[in-house]
Structure 1
Amino acid sequence: MKKAFFGIAGFMVTLNVWAQQHPYQNPRLGSKERARDLITRLTLEEKAALMCDVSEPVPRLGIKKFNWWSEALHGIRYGYNVSVFPQSIGMAASFDDKLVHDVFNAVSDEFRAKYQEAKRTGQENSRFVSLSVWTPNINIFRDPRWGRGQETYGEDPYLTTRIGISVVNGLQGPAGSKYKKLLACAKHFAVHSGPEWSRHTLNLNNINQRDLWETYLPAFKALVQQADVREVMCAYQRLDDEPCCGSTRLLQKILRNDWGFKYLVVSDCGAIADFYTNHKVSSDDIHAAAKGVLAGTDVECGWGYAYNKLPQAVEKGLINEKEIDEHLAKVLTARFDLGEMDNDSLVPWSKIPVSVIDSKEHRELALKMARESMTLLQNKNNILPLSGSAKKIAVIGPNADDGSMLLGNYNGFPSAITTILKGVKTKLPADNIFYDKGCDLVEDMITQSLFENCSFDGKWGMKATYWNNTAFKGDAVAYEQLVSPVQLTTAGQNQFCRGVNLKNFSGKYETVYHASESEEIVLRLEFGGKGEVMVNNEPLFSKEVWQVAPIRLPYRVEKGKDYKIEVKFSAIFDGMDASLKLNIGREVPVDYGELINKLKGIDAVIFVGGISPKLEGEEMPVEFHGFKGGDRTNIELPQSQRKCLQALKKAGKKIVFVNCSGAAIALTPETESCDAILQAWYGGQSGGQAVADVLFGDYNPSGKLPVTFYKTSEQLGDFEDYSMKGRTYRFMNDALFPFGYGLSYATFKIAAARLSKTTIKAGENIQLTIPVTNTSDRYGAEVIQVYVRKVNDKDGPLKTLRGFKRVEIPAGKMQQVAIELTPAAFEFYDARLQKMAIAPGEYEICYGTSSDAKDLQSGRISILP
């Protein structure tokens, strides 16, 4: 091996040059040229393996193993001691796309630094430690019951577009750089937003074309054409009878031919297998592999890869090798674009130091983002901000001291989490704060542990046996006798149990329950991994769980009888924390009277409730009233909390309700029982501090709702009906709290806007100049929103967001806010042309502080033919 030295403006770059260098090894050549050369040197079997999300190495050619699957939803998923920013829906509430860019620039810095650290320790091949991140999720949050809506940027196509572009630019780095910082991925293409329970079989064959082009596709088009996103992930379900990952219309005609996408399409995980296991459009994995590639899916994510069968597909004549080469070229080009195959000395991003991870600057950024996400929905009699000199305040509620709730889903683990209770403790002396959980998130019952009725082999409690494999095979490596409810995790730990690995282990928990009464007992599980439960050798439960979720298993017992209970747990997911909670008990009703007695002498209550990522998320085994499979079956606040709030109200308490959720909650009764309502989302590592800063007036809230808060569940249609009719602010105007709404401690006056033109030709820009005055004595921020409506458009939206600007204005000052509307602001679907177009005619332009008509002023313009 030789060493060549190149002087560039006095800067020396050391470049390793192979003595027998092939073109694909030459970093001076373009990525596409290098990819084409490498393809000529691969066998068909090697080509197929390189198109799987875990791409195996090709040692003879110096090609390393590569993982396509990492997640960067709001930080490094499964990373430890990393920055965890607010969940996506919370970031959208900031309406601050510049700050969102800064957040994802920080996230990509941490990813690069973590990757380089992994390389130094030989761990760069671990799953989820990669330079390809499957973020952002730009699906439209059309129905608040969808558990994954928390991963999106809300219900509006324009807001989703603006935020999504910032995410991609922050992740991928500046345009024009030789090497991409990371590869971002727009997902899930297309028309995807639940339900989770039917996503593998759902067929959407009646989508209105106007809904398709005006609602479901705009953000994808923008990220392709304006952000140069390098990956697009196709969705699970069928669209017009074709699985999205096998849809030539979606992946070839629209994505590549119409929009000019040149890069990589990846499948959602298991979506290719769905072709023959669920959708039944392919007879087996060989046919599914050929169908996926020919339609335009370049990388398969899965577990038993169909793409490994591509050589057999070639033998059968279902696809030819040249067609495989065409798709593999995109895969390899992407890897060369990252600099992943080049010497680190050539890749500027490899110089990012490990010290950026969880740095002071990133912690401050996480707090700033959390503060801007806080959305004040109600403030009767200006009860907020609270006084820091209050004699005593009660902090009540199931989310008050829950750090994991703040982390949302698809999350990493920070070095420290400020819960809401901890945040309040920074404002008041500890003696001035009374804390009680008060009630459960969902159930109007509490579980009294019955571990005292359990024994095994003559010893009280439960016997735990562990193996350092996931199959319970060979010699056990550890034994424990557990005498209290199990609470074990690998998160932040050196071991799960003494002698047990952090990953790829299994545990068996055995006990005999001696029934002292004839009654229904409940086995409660909370775990991430694979869990199985047997009672008297009969199966009661078996499930693999990606997102940690609570499981309730009722079982009837008879007095005097014994019941052998066996729980098996396996940490089967590489890169995922293992955790297990296990209790055996009886349920008894909550006594709210007892809680009220504890609150004597306390007038003000901060109630922290809502829901949790343990209840809403991706395909979860959750079956509680109001919740199903990660989604919700209704959007009311759970009865346990509603009753608790009503009891507090009846007792004469002043209630500040902090609602934590990734979606809208129907809070109509709570507007009566509560004095103030703060929507806090899932605020990340500093979410609790941000909440406290708002409640006590150290930060003036400015968040705006990125989703409609409906009055009741009855306002929602069929979950599986993807028609936009009656959904979101664009097609309904009877909200409890409308899209774009959020209060401030400051007050703002919006004067009449000036339009640069009132008559334009199609293709021209116009500018609104809007005088905004802060009429209060507090510094504050306001989000000025601009909506467009095509006059006399009977089938179109009531209004649709086409511009916004977040402005910060000192007390008593006025600012001229300029918002430019580009030609795209006046594009709507033209059924005659079958595409988005600007039609001549009258357009109403509305501007103000929310989508509600009472918060808007309007003017009109004419667009000439």
Structure 2
Amino acid sequence: MKKLILALAVLVSLSAAAQRSQDKKKMDAFITNLMKKMTIEEKIGQLNLVTPGGGIATGAVVSSNVEAKIKEGKVGGLFGVHGPEKVRQAQDFAVKQTRMKIPLLFGSDVIHGYKTIFPIPLGLSASWDMALIERSARIAALESTANGLNWNFSPMVDIARDPRWGRVAEGAGEDPYLGSQIARAMVRGYQGDDMTKPTTMMACVKHFILYGAAEAGRDYNTTDMSRIKMFNEYLPPYKAAIDAGVGSVMSSFNDIDAVPATGNKWVLTDLLRGRWGFDGFVVSDYTSVNEMIAHGMGDLQAVSALALKAGLDMDMVGEGFLTTLPKSLKEGKVTEKEIDQSCRRILEAKYKLGLFDDPYRYIDTSRPAKEILTADTRKAAREIAARSFVLLKNNNQVLPLKKSGTIALVGPLANNKNNMLGTWAVSGDPQTSIPLLEGMKNVAGNGVNIIYAKGANITNDTLLAKKVNVFGTRIDIDKRSPEEMLKEAVEAARKADVVVAAVGEASEMSGESSSRSDITLPESQKKLVRALVQTGKPVVLVMMSGRPLALEEENELTTAMLQTWHAGSEAGNAIADVLFGDYNPSGKLTATFPRNVGQVPIYYSQRTTGRPATSEEFKKFQSNYLDVPNSPLFPFGYGLSYTTFSYGDVKLNKNSMKPNEAITATVTLTNTGKYDGEEVVQLYIRDVVCSITRPVKELKGFQKVFLKAGESKEVSFKITAEDLKFYNSELNYVAEPGDFKVFIGTSSQEVKEADFKLQ
């Protein structure tokens, strides 16, 4: 029977491969025939991606200038255009009023939901739940395509280990293994198994490459690292997205080896296409072609030619390709073959989306009302958000809260719709979000008396507020004095049994162009927390932020802390579900929380040194600080529950293996507390002796396990030679024989261990 099943599987695989080959031949023939009819100007037009900007709201779907370019065949795609009617208008220009009748791509940044907004990606990653993350992307694709979009500038998979960098909010944190799993899940969620379906869309992995490693945590800054670090620690999530079949890639703003990514041939051709076999198209980030001028790479004609020759296919907004490539072609600075190659890739994307069969495939006026921001999508947002929260502290089991008595709910984020969605929720409407005050009233019922007081501004710094409020009011500075607000909050706290303080960042204090050199709470909120603690009442801190913050003082002062990130449309309901125990928190950190900014960059998988610190106690001539321990405030993988879990010893089915064998590592996990709950069991490995310096441990597996109170379960992981591989000094992917350690536990710091050998 097994042989028959295997034979059938092989036949199915061969049949699928044959079908793919046939489909590719059909696509190649179609596009070859189409391109024979195109002029060079029309081919260059396909390489141009534009946005109509603010012109849509008051008049036609696009401004007259963009309309004219579309009709002249000088536009390959649009972004910033939403809604079936507006998309149809623009598509009409392309397929009815141009010579070649080539349809347009319609793209957008759908980073963590379209109209139904999910937690920021850093929050989603803290769920450690791939099915849930894929589901969030699936819903985002459903809503986006209902509004006429077919291309999404997501997922962002940049590894980020510096919380000063604002865009840490948009990624999966610091770890390449976890980041790779999430990259695959997001691509599957957006693209599904058939991109011609009107409910799926083409994904665009970004930012290629190393954008998350900008020096000093300052956005758009230079990036410089060794190839070994690059291949082992930063490239895996991009590679995972490519292997998952992502349709497009976006180049990054930063330079690599002193050449901007947008014009870097090693990045876009040698690595992406040559080494990894990517066959989709590459789009620049917003005006990143033009920005190579400021990098010092030449004028617009020079940098446009550089980008095309490097392997860039589509120019976002800058129009350098459109305005300079004809001249560069005449002068021999680019070739027609290079233009043809990029044009073909973009036409292939349109073919794969089914646009040549039906340019209006994604335009259905009946869909938005039925599929966007529905009761079902909101329910999903609530469930997903609750699973992203991380319980950082819970002294005296103050949580979950009782649904009785009096609660003082205070803080600038306690009743603030404008900051629930989080950064880069460009299509979301903050006014559709549920703030915490509303959510607590919904969940607590009539048995709880909730006293609300704002207590403080997010910040009293008017200059900072002005910078943050670029996209609308996110920091609202109250007309009352800080002293008056603080007094009101303290009075509310004194009347209550417990205080819930909602503090943190405004949504636009993180995200693009939102780097911070000080990652503590603003002083206005610090004063509020101190005053609340001085009342003697237990204080539960609900932390809303787009990055890891330095919370050493708050950790010392407060009774409990729940990290909720920016949780999206259903933020208030989801937070209340967790606070009152309707859901037992199960999130784990995917980015290390430092004690202070001086520890940054800080991450769990740092490489071994010749003089490692042997304890938290300072010792001269070891790798440590004079003024703070090496350890973080909260490590990667950390997160508490309302219940408790115990781990048995790690048991291996054997202590050595050959390269073609496997070892099974098993622990017994027991729920030793009073609540049913979920635990993320984490597997780490260390290569003890190696030809290059290796990390102290690396995540290589995890399982999210649900256990009822008192229940035990054996959790097993299969370890193969593939899990032991790394890129050596020649950039060969190898597993070297020798000694290894395996660690299993509740976080990167709290683990049980065992030893084995690879023969």
Q: TM-score, normalised by structure 1?
A: 0.73
Whichever structure has more helix as a proportion of its residues is 2
Identify the residue that residue 388 of structure 1 maps to in structure 2: 403
Change (3 A) 1:30 1:181: farther
Asked if residue 402 in structure 1 is aligned to residue 423 in structure 2, the reply is no
Change (3 A) 1:322 1:527: same
* Post-superposition CA distance 1:753-809 (Å, at most 9, x none): 343443222354433333222222321111000011111357321111110011111
CA contact (8 A) 1:549 1:615 kept: no
The Cα of 1:358 is off from its aligned counterpart by 2.0
Change (3 A) 1:112 1:419: same
Identify the residue that residue 665 of structure 1 maps to in structure 2: 549
Asked if residue 131 in structure 1 is aligned to residue 150 in structure 2, the reply is yes
Asked if residue 802 in structure 1 is aligned to residue 684 in structure 2, the reply is no
The Cα of 1:524 is off from its aligned counterpart by 7.0
User: What secondary structure is seen at the aligned counterpart in 2 of 1:685?
Assistant: coil
* Post-superposition CA distance 1:446-465 (Å, at most 9, x none): x8xxxxxxxxxxxxxxxxxx
Identify the residue that residue 137 of structure 2 maps to in structure 1: 104
The aligned amino acid for 1:420 is: L
* Post-superposition CA distance 1:129-156 (Å, at most 9, x none): x311110010012101111110001111
1:364 to 371, 379, 385: 379
* Post-superposition CA distance 1:736-766 (Å, at most 9, x none): 1111111111222222334344322235443
Asked if residue 821 in structure 1 is aligned to residue 719 in structure 2, the reply is yes
Identify the residue that residue 684 of structure 1 maps to in structure 2: 568
Q: Supply the distance in 2 between the matched residues of 1:269 and 1:606 (Cα, whole angstroms).
A: 41
User: What secondary structure is seen at the aligned counterpart in 1 of 2:200?
Assistant: coil
Identify the residue that residue 35 of structure 1 maps to in structure 2: 31
Change (3 A) 1:267 1:198: farther
Q: Supply the distance in 1 between the matched residues of 2:159 and 2:724 (Cα, whole angstroms).
A: 20
User: What secondary structure is seen at the aligned counterpart in 2 of 1:222?
Assistant: helix
The Cα of 1:105 is off from its aligned counterpart by 1.4
1:787 to 684, 694, 702: 684
Identify the residue that residue 60 of structure 2 maps to in structure 1: none
Equivalent positions of 1:472-511 (< 5 A) are none
Identify the residue that residue 49 of structure 1 maps to in structure 2: 45
User: What secondary structure is seen at the aligned counterpart in 2 of 1:608?
Assistant: strand
Larger Rg: 1
Identify the residue that residue 242 of structure 2 maps to in structure 1: 224
CA contact (8 A) 1:660 1:679 kept: yes
Change (3 A) 1:684 1:588: closer
Equivalent positions of 1:432-447 (< 5 A) are 432-443=449-460
Q: Supply the distance in 1 between the matched residues of 2:190 and 2:220 (Cα, whole angstroms).
A: 32
Q: Supply the distance in 1 between the matched residues of 2:710 and 2:651 (Cα, whole angstroms).
A: 22
Q: Supply the distance in 1 between the matched residues of 2:464 and 2:112 (Cα, whole angstroms).
A: 34
* Post-superposition CA distance 1:617-658 (Å, at most 9, x none): 212xxxxxxxxxx11112212221111111111121210000
1:238 to 255, 264, 272: 255
CA contact (8 A) 1:289 1:307 kept: no
The Cα of 1:101 is off from its aligned counterpart by 1.1
Identify the residue that residue 118 of structure 2 maps to in structure 1: 85
* Post-superposition CA distance 1:690-720 (Å, at most 9, x none): 111111111111000011011111212599x
Moved more, 610-619 or 160-169: 610-619
Change (3 A) 1:750 1:27: closer
Equivalent positions of 1:14-33 (< 5 A) are 30-33=26-29
User: What secondary structure is seen at the aligned counterpart in 2 of 1:769?
Assistant: strand
CA contact (8 A) 1:53 1:68 kept: no
* Post-superposition CA distance 1:506-536 (Å, at most 9, x none): xxxxxxxxxxxxxxxx8975887xxxxxxxx
Identify the residue that residue 420 of structure 1 maps to in structure 2: 436
The Cα of 1:437 is off from its aligned counterpart by 0.8
Equivalent positions of 1:290-301 (< 5 A) are 290-301=305-316
The Cα of 1:822 is off from its aligned counterpart by 4.3
CA contact (8 A) 2:408 2:492 kept: no
Structure 2: gaps (5+ residues): 1-21, 51-74, 77-93, 610-623
Change (3 A) 1:649 1:213: same
Identify the residue that residue 300 of structure 2 maps to in structure 1: 285
1:74 to 97, 109, 112: 112
Q: Supply the distance in 2 between the matched residues of 1:201 and 1:683 (Cα, whole angstroms).
A: 26
Q: Supply the distance in 2 between the matched residues of 1:586 and 1:600 (Cα, whole angstroms).
A: 21
1:309 to 324, 330, 339: 324
Change (3 A) 1:40 1:199: farther
1:156 to 165, 171, 175: 175
User: What secondary structure is seen at the aligned counterpart in 2 of 1:640?
Assistant: helix
Identify the residue that residue 192 of structure 2 maps to in structure 1: 173
Q: Supply the distance in 1 between the matched residues of 2:449 and 2:590 (Cα, whole angstroms).
A: 36
User: What secondary structure is seen at the aligned counterpart in 2 of 1:30?
Assistant: helix
Moved more, 290-299 or 591-600: 591-600
Equivalent positions of 1:536-615 (< 5 A) are 545=470, 547-548=471-472, 592-593=486-487, 595-615=489-509
Change (3 A) 1:377 1:346: closer
Structure 1: gaps (5+ residues): 1-25, 77-81, 116-129, 448-521, 529-544, 552-580, 620-629
Identify the residue that residue 468 of structure 1 maps to in structure 2: none
Asked if residue 254 in structure 1 is aligned to residue 271 in structure 2, the reply is yes
Change (3 A) 1:591 1:407: closer
CA contact (8 A) 1:374 1:690 kept: no
Identify the residue that residue 388 of structure 2 maps to in structure 1: 373
Moved more, 353-362 or 807-816: 353-362
* Post-superposition CA distance 1:51-100 (Å, at most 9, x none): 01232537344535524531121112xxxxx3111111111000000111
Change (3 A) 1:690 1:266: same
Identify the residue that residue 616 of structure 2 maps to in structure 1: none
CA contact (8 A) 2:215 2:222 kept: no
Change (3 A) 1:196 1:150: farther
The Cα of 1:305 is off from its aligned counterpart by 3.6
Change (3 A) 1:410 1:34: farther
Identify the residue that residue 57 of structure 2 maps to in structure 1: none
How many residue pairs get matched?
A: 674
CA contact (8 A) 1:525 1:550 kept: no
Q: Supply the distance in 1 between the matched residues of 2:468 and 2:104 (Cα, whole angstroms).
A: 29
CA contact (8 A) 1:48 1:309 kept: no
Equivalent positions of 1:586-665 (< 5 A) are 592-593=486-487, 595-619=489-513, 630-665=514-549
CA contact (8 A) 1:142 1:724 kept: no
The aligned amino acid for 2:242 is: V
Moved more, 234-243 or 412-421: 412-421
1:713 to 578, 583, 597: 597
Identify the residue that residue 742 of structure 2 maps to in structure 1: 845
The aligned amino acid for 1:416 is: T
User: What secondary structure is seen at the aligned counterpart in 2 of 1:834?
Assistant: coil
The Cα of 1:829 is off from its aligned counterpart by 2.6
Q: Supply the distance in 1 between the matched residues of 2:121 and 2:465 (Cα, whole angstroms).
A: 30
Q: Supply the distance in 2 between the matched residues of 1:610 and 1:385 (Cα, whole angstroms).
A: 21
Change (3 A) 1:364 1:756: farther
Q: Supply the distance in 1 between the matched residues of 2:575 and 2:197 (Cα, whole angstroms).
A: 42
The Cα of 1:384 is off from its aligned counterpart by 0.7
The aligned amino acid for 2:437 is: L
Q: Supply the distance in 1 between the matched residues of 2:365 and 2:480 (Cα, whole angstroms).
A: 55
* Post-superposition CA distance 1:147-180 (Å, at most 9, x none): 1110001111111111110000010011697899
CA contact (8 A) 1:132 1:182 kept: yes
Change (3 A) 1:321 1:350: farther
Q: Supply the distance in 1 between the matched residues of 2:309 and 2:653 (Cα, whole angstroms).
A: 50
The Cα of 1:106 is off from its aligned counterpart by 1.5
Identify the residue that residue 211 of structure 1 maps to in structure 2: 229
Q: TM-score, normalised by structure 2?
A: 0.82
Asked if residue 858 in structure 1 is aligned to residue 756 in structure 2, the reply is no
RMSD between superposed Cα atoms in Å: 3.2
Moved more, 145-154 or 640-649: 640-649
The Cα of 1:44 is off from its aligned counterpart by 1.1
